[in-house]
Amino acid sequence: MRSDNIKKGVEKSPHRALLKATGLTDSEIAKPLIAVVNSWNEIVPGHVHLKTIGEKVKEGVRSAGGTPIEFNTIGICDGIAMGHIGMKMSLPSRDLIADSVELMVQAHQFDGMVLISSCDKIVPGHLIAAARLNIPSIVVTGGPMMPGFFKGNPVDVISVFEAVGAYQNNLISLDELKELEDSACPGPGSCAGCFTANTMACLTETLGLSLPGCGTAHAIQAKKLRIAYESGVRAVNLVRENLKPSDILTREAFENAIRVDMAIGGSTNTTIHLPAIAEELNIKIEIDEFDYFGRTTPHLVNLRPGGPYTMWDMEKAGGVPALLKQLKSLLNLNTIGVTGKKLKDIIDDFKIIDENIIRPLRNPYHREGGIAVLKGSLAPQGAVVKQTAVSSESMVHIGPAKVFNSEEEATEAICGGEIKPKDVVVIRYEGVIGGPGMREMLSPTANLMGRGMDKEVSLITDGRFSGGTRGLCIGHVSPEAALGGPISLVENGDLIKIDIPNRRLDLLVEEGELMNRKSKWVKPKIQVKGYLKKYAEQYYEKLLKN
């Protein structure tokens, strides 16, 4: 066993003495040591219940003949961090989480891992660590939050973000906003729609790193506790079988995950998370692959924010297993997961409970999948849009630019009523380096939606969007402004053309004029310190190497 490096032989007597100081006995030390990597904390709704899940995991590990040893990672709530400097910390936290897991596991030579995570950057952070360490690992995602209800309709935190704009535009009263605030998030779990956290949970199950049914099993369900226990049992057997992430996370598995992402209309943030996980295994996923699978995978589950259904509806309809059965003819069926079985051998046991929610290929909500990649003179290296959350009449849009050099400037203009129909709101210097940290722009987009401008106004940024963003919102514009990309040259009044069907994003300005602007452009000085400074510098060095 790998843990023999810290426990076997006379020379490891000091190591065993230290392990015994924690209360472990000789018999416990002799067993496989399983790291229970938990992101439990008391501020993130998606994490507050993970201590209980961790206890069930440890019960499972012990019952299978292993010794569980738990430690924690940090976890940031994107919703609480949204709209202020805190959002600069979100994406960088993903890499810090992965690094911290690596350090703990390598230092203490665990034999295997159970990773317990929820929310936007924590799940991918854990997956990056699993791929990098490549020791037997299984993931238990914490589960979605139940939807709240307001005036008889299901709601979630995105409803509240959008209601702020509605209140500022005198469309609802302050009392109604307060009532919605009190009812939108009824308890623990990751926010109730198909936002980044729940998208990544579904993709983790698809990749094969969590047990079937885990992705949509809700935080409050006893089913989640049973899955946690079974995952603990399975972790010990993974060690005995020496089944590693590299055996599971193949290129074919990532292709399956991208197809599921398209079929559920998942978060655009997967375009940065999946490649980062794959990179740890020397698998390269290009941005254009998302567009290819988007064009060839229909949209089968119409979840919020683009559709009416919540994750609870998907769970009741059969969850990820049911969706995999509907997608069977498009999938790589020889992939294996933590069960040790091939997908083709277990998919026939999956049940489709409600085809009105998880539709068959012959009857999709949209012919194409959730994500489209746009290129053109404004985004030579690409930009990303969740096309299934865009109204059909907004798929092509031409309008004048309203340019802002930060999210705060744009939000102030939106709240001040400065944005008019047809405007194209451009928010720049919010990329990985320019931010730094590549903030999500949920506050300005939700404010526009709440004002009823989702079909009239578009928003373009070199930052990111929350998985809860809907409407004509295009993010990840590359190269970013801080690197001198074309988005840095846009001026107020410039016409911008968005053409999603033809995958184009163009700045309608003569090339000579752009060259003149480029000659006058001065790279901004970014005043930043601490972890963000390290993060921006590391990312820039990586760009230079590539």
For 489-512, what is each residue's pLDDT tens digit?
A: 999 999 999 999 999 999 999 999
State how beta strands 424-427 and 458-461 pair.
Answer: parallel
89-100 pLDDT, tens digit each: 999 999 999 999
Element (H, E) at 543: helix 530-545
Beta strands in 221-283 (DSSP E): none
Contact 140, 168 (CB under 8 A): no
Residues of the chain with pLDDT > 70: what percent?
100
Question: Stretch 61-81: mean pLDDT, rounded?
Answer: 97
Q: How confident is the model at residue 523, as a pLDDT?
A: 85
pTM above 0.75, yes or no: yes
Mean pLDDT of the chain: 96
Tell me the C-alpha distance between 237 and 243, whole Å.
Answer: 9
Instruction: Indicate whether 286 pLDDT > 80.
Output: yes
**Which residues are CB-neighbours of 474 under 8 A, at least 6 positions away?**
374, 379, 383, 384, 385, 458, 459, 460, 461, 498, 505
Tell me the C-alpha distance between 445 and 86, whole Å.
Answer: 18
178-202 pLDDT, tens digit each: 999 999 999 999 999 999 999 999 9
Instruction: Indicate whether 362 pLDDT > 90.
Output: yes
Question: By C-alpha distance, which of 219, 208, 409 is closest to 320?
Answer: 208
Is 13 noted as a catalytic residue in this protein? no
Question: Stretch 361-369: mean pLDDT, rounded?
Answer: 98
Q: How confident is the model at residue 192, as a pLDDT?
A: 96
- pLDDT bucket at 348, cuts 50 / 70 / 90: confident
Contact 494, 219 (CB under 8 A): no
Tell me the C-alpha distance between 141 and 210, whole Å.
Answer: 8
Question: By C-alpha distance, which of 313, 321, 314, 198 is closest to 266?
Answer: 198
Question: In a 10 Å sphere around its CB, with 0-12 CB exposed, 13-18 middle and 19+ buried, how is residue 54 labelled?
Answer: buried
Provide the edge-to-edge strand list for the sheet that holds 495-499.
Answer: 371-374, 382-386, 473-478, 458-461, 424-427, 396-404, 495-499, 504-507
Instruction: Indicate whether 126 pLDDT > 90.
Output: yes
Q: How confident is the model at residue 128, as a pLDDT?
A: 98
- pLDDT bucket at 323, cuts 50 / 70 / 90: very high
Pick from 30-34, 139-143, 346-350: least confident: 346-350
- pLDDT bucket at 343, cuts 50 / 70 / 90: very high
- pLDDT bucket at 541, cuts 50 / 70 / 90: confident
Element (H, E) at 540: helix 530-545
Question: By C-alpha distance, which of 376, 387, 413 is closest to 469?
Answer: 387
Instruction: Indicate whether 545 pLDDT > 80.
Output: no
Query: Of residues 267, 466, 478, 488, which has the active-site annotation?
Result: 466
Question: By C-alpha distance, which of 334, 322, 227, 207 is closest to 273?
Answer: 207
Tell me the C-alpha distance between 471 and 236, whole Å.
Answer: 45
Q: How confident is the model at residue 8, as a pLDDT?
A: 97
Tell me the C-alpha distance between 56 and 536, whole Å.
Answer: 39
Q: How confident is the model at residue 44, as a pLDDT?
A: 98
